[in-house]
Amino acid sequence: MDNITNVTVKPLDRGGKFVTPIRVDYEQDGKAKFWEAVRVSKSVSCVIFNVSRRKFVCVRQFRPAVYVNGADGIAWSEPDVANIGPEISAKSGVTWEFCGGICDKPGLSLEQICVEEVLEETGYAVKAESLVKIGTSRCHVGVAGEAQTVYYVEVTDDMRRGPGGGIDEEMIDVVELGVDEAKSMLGDDTVVAPTDFFWGLSWFFLNKNQA
Ligand SMILES: O=c1ccn([C@@H]2O[C@H](COP(=O)(O)OP(=O)(O)O[C@H]3O[C@H](CO)[C@@H](O)[C@H](O)[C@H]3O)[C@@H](O)[C@H]2O)c(=O)[nH]1
ipTM score of complex:
0.94
State the CATH number of the domain containing residue 24.
3.90.79.10
Rounded Cα–Cα distance for residues 105 and 108 (Å):
6
Q: Is there a domain that residue 50 lies in?
A: yes
Is the pLDDT at 210 greater than 60? The verdict is no
Strands in the chain per DSSP E:
20-28, 31-39, 43-50, 55-62, 75-78, 81-83, 94-97, 99-102, 132-138, 147-155, 173-178
Is the pLDDT at 209 greater than 80? The verdict is no
Q: Taking Cα atoms as reference points, which of 86, 62, 63, 59 lies closest to residue 74?
A: 86
Q: Is there a domain that residue 81 lies in?
A: yes
Q: Is there a domain that residue 9 lies in?
A: no
How many of the other CB atoms lie within 10 Å of CB of 197? 23
Centre of ligand 1 from the C-alpha of residue 155, in Å: 24
Q: Is there a domain that residue 15 lies in?
A: no
- Summarised one tens digit per residue, pLDDT across range 63-91 is 999 988 876 667 777 777 777 777 788 88
Task: Answer yes or no: are the C-beta atoms of 71 and 88 closer than 8 Å.
Answer: yes
Q: Is there a domain that residue 159 lies in?
A: yes
pTM score: 0.91
Q: Is there a domain that residue 12 lies in?
A: no
- 193 lies in which domain range? 20-207
Centre of ligand 1 from the C-alpha of residue 101, in Å: 6
Ligand 1, atom 36: nearest CA belongs to which residue?
18
CA R_g for the chain: 19
What is the domain count for the chain?
1
How many of the other CB atoms lie within 10 Å of CB of 25? 8
- Summarised one tens digit per residue, pLDDT across range 35-74 is 888 888 999 999 999 999 999 999 999 999 998 887 666 7
Q: Taking Cα atoms as reference points, which of 138, 136, 119 lies closest to residue 127?
A: 119
Ligand 1, atom 18: nearest CA belongs to which residue?
101
Q: Is there a domain that residue 11 lies in?
A: no
Q: Is there a domain that residue 1 lies in?
A: no
Query: CB within 6 Å of ligand 1 — which residues?
Result: 18, 43, 45, 97, 100-102, 139, 148, 169-170, 194
